[in-house]
Homo-oligomer: A and B are copies of this chain.
């Protein structure tokens, strides 16, 4: 789920980080992404938005934002690595395997399932990661895969 650029810059500022030009540009670019994006996508977008911004800076900002919970790294079934901007709260993602659009979704009882799985295996479960893949409402109308 795309988020507002102001939420990114505001969160950065609130966390005591400086609000620099490259960070504003990247916040804008990331907030404009409707679905997931790869590192290569963002580096390319950054290059055309402001060629002065370096690759290292893009990765630094990605790491910073993922620390702040504003973006999440996710791994597609294809093995690709992607990033997804999202609200900084515990939730999961449903990702359209056709257009890449993603929706946030709340726990919906997953916590109990995780507890049950922990009970059965004897593990003390501390964290879980769930990703759902399928077709978004828009792509269902058109059928098929990319």
Contacts and interface: CB of A to CB of B under 8 A. Distances in A.
Taking residues whose C-beta sits less than 8 angstroms from the other chain, chain A's interface range is 35 or more
Instruction: State the number of copies, please.
Output: 2
Contact of A123 (B96, B118, B123, B127): B96
A130 B127 contact: no
A108 B125 CA distance: 15
A64 interface: no
Interface centre among A75, A108, A135 (most CB of B within 10 A): A108
Interface stretch (A23-31, A34-42, A109-117): A109-117
B124 A132 contact: no
Contact of A132 (B92, B117, B133, B140): B117
A83 B59 CA distance: 25
